[in-house]
Amino acid sequence: MDQPLLELDNLRVDFHTPTGIVHAVRGLSFTLGRERLGIVGESGSGKSMTGRAILDLIPPPGLVTADRMVFRGQDLLTMDKRERRKLRGRRISMVMQDPKYSLNPVMRVGEQIAEALRGKGPGVRRRVLEALEAVRIRDPERVYNLYPHEVSGGMGQRIMIAMMLAPEPDLLIADEPTSALDVTVQMQVLAILDDLVAKRGMGLIFISHDLDLVASFCDRVLVMYGGRVVEELNARNLRAATHPYTQGLLDSLPRIDDQREELPTLRRDPAWLED
């Protein structure tokens, strides 16, 4: 049996501010295999902070603590900063929401991917072109020489994914990777991620506010509210959700075929914040 890719136990992210401590993530635990795990929640639920904490990208005054944080048998908590940095981008990568802000605007697309591969020479150029082909960019030679402002949003996001996947990471954290894209482009980008998980056996953490999308794409879904997981679901059984928060979210979505006059709105129960 494979060892798990990532084990998290009692992850907490706290921000120490002048007006008090803000608990962004409050005791999150999960074990990730080579699968597609969805993390769903509204803004402020702690879903993005979870992704960033795994990569050690929480800026001060944020503080990350955990009882256990192990990536492929390596203890991330005791590892020194340099070792941790080596994992980042090589073994664990992250794709963020908006390619406009994540790509370097004054560097050609191909050179940016080459930089991610940390190499030079003709071999690297070939690998960059392969990486662009892997995300179904039709004319990689042409795209190699473009600047980020010369590509569309969908193409920019595919370039980001190509860059993050070029070093062949074991784990990809995708934080709202398709939320800025049109639905048809979103489908194509998801199909690329789907293939990469299947072909390379990569683990994927897919962070999103879109319950329906996550349920249709992932194997397993964690629903977060107020920094905690309130419910874990098999993605196929999203409709069988039992937590009132998950049910409330599902009910409040308008549907193409429904004729409800009034959409039910969520009544937040303070008890959801407690254990």
Partner 1 sequence: MIDVRNLDVRFGQGAGALHAVRDVSFSVAQGESFGLVGESGSGKSTVLRVLAGLNPRWTGQAALAGMPLGPRDAPLPRLVQMVFQDPYASLHPRHTVDRALSEPLEIQGIGDVGPRVERALADVGLGPAFRFRYPNQLSGGQRQRVAIARALMLEPKVLLLDEPTSALDVSVQAEILNLLRRLRRAHGLTLLLVSHNLAVIAHMCDRLAVMNRGAIVEEMDVATLRRQEPREAYTRQLLLASRGYDRDVAAGIVTYD
The CB-of-148 to partner 1 minimum distance in angstroms stands at 17
169 prior amide bond cis, ω within 30: no
**Selected binder of partner 1 within 30, 71, 144, 217 (CB under 8 A):** 217
Q: Does 150 bind partner 1 (CB under 8 A)?
A: no
Q: How far is the CB of 214 from partner 1 (least distance, A)?
A: 9
Among the listed ranges 66-74, 79-87, 120-128, 208-216, the one in contact with partner 1 (CB under 8 A) is: 208-216
Report in angstroms how near the CB of residue 261 gets to partner 1 at its nearest.
7
- Nearest CA to 215 out of 226, 223, 204 is that of 223
If you count them, how many residues does the chain have? Answer: 275
Site for partner 1 in 159-188 (CB under 8 A): 182-184, 186-188
Record the tokens describing residue 55, joined without a space.
């990569």
Q: How far apart are CA 12 and CA 25, in angstroms?
A: 5
Whole-number Å distance between alpha carbons of 145 and 245:
47
Interaction of residue 10 with partner 1, rule CB under 8 A: no
Ranges within 12-71 binding partner 1 (CB under 8 A): 42-43
User: How many binding residues for partner 1 (CB under 8 A)?
Assistant: 36
Token code pair at residue 180? 């800025």
Strands 6-17 and 62-65: antiparallel
Q: Which of 258, 270, 271, 274 binds partner 1 (CB under 8 A)?
A: 258
Q: Of 7-15, 70-78, 105-113, 214-222, which segment contacts partner 1 by CB under 8 A?
A: 214-222
- Per CB under 8 A, which region of 50-58, 69-77, 80-88, 256-264 contacts partner 1? 256-264
What CA dihedral angle connects 228, 231, 235 and 238, to 10 degrees?
-130
Q: Is 3 in the site for partner 1 (CB under 8 A)?
A: no
Among 101-109, 110-118, 137-145, 213-221, which window interacts with partner 1 (CB under 8 A)?
213-221
Q: Are 111 and 150 in contact (CB under 8 A)?
A: no
* Rounded (10°) angle between helices 122-134 and 153-165: 120
Residue among 43 and 242 whose Cβ is closer to partner 1 = 43
Give whichever of 81 and 260 is closer to partner 1, judged by the CB atom: 260
Which CB sits closer to partner 1, 107 or 266?
A: 266
The encoded tokens of residue 169 equal 């990471």
- Give 25 or 213: the residue with its C-beta nearer to partner 1: 213
Is the CB of 129 or the CB of 215 nearer to partner 1? 215
Burial 132-156 (b: 16+ CB within 10 A, else e): bebbebeebeebbebebeebeebbb
Q: Which two tokens stand for residue 45?
A: 């639920």
Q: Are 221 and 35 in contact (CB under 8 A)?
A: no
End-to-end alpha carbon distance in the chain? 33
Angle made by CA atoms 190, 143, 127, in degrees to the nearest 5? 75
Please report whether residue 77 would count as binding partner 1 according to CB under 8 A.
no
Binding site residues, partner 1, CB under 8 A? 42-43, 153, 182-184, 186-188, 190-191, 194, 209, 211-213, 215-217, 248-249, 252-266
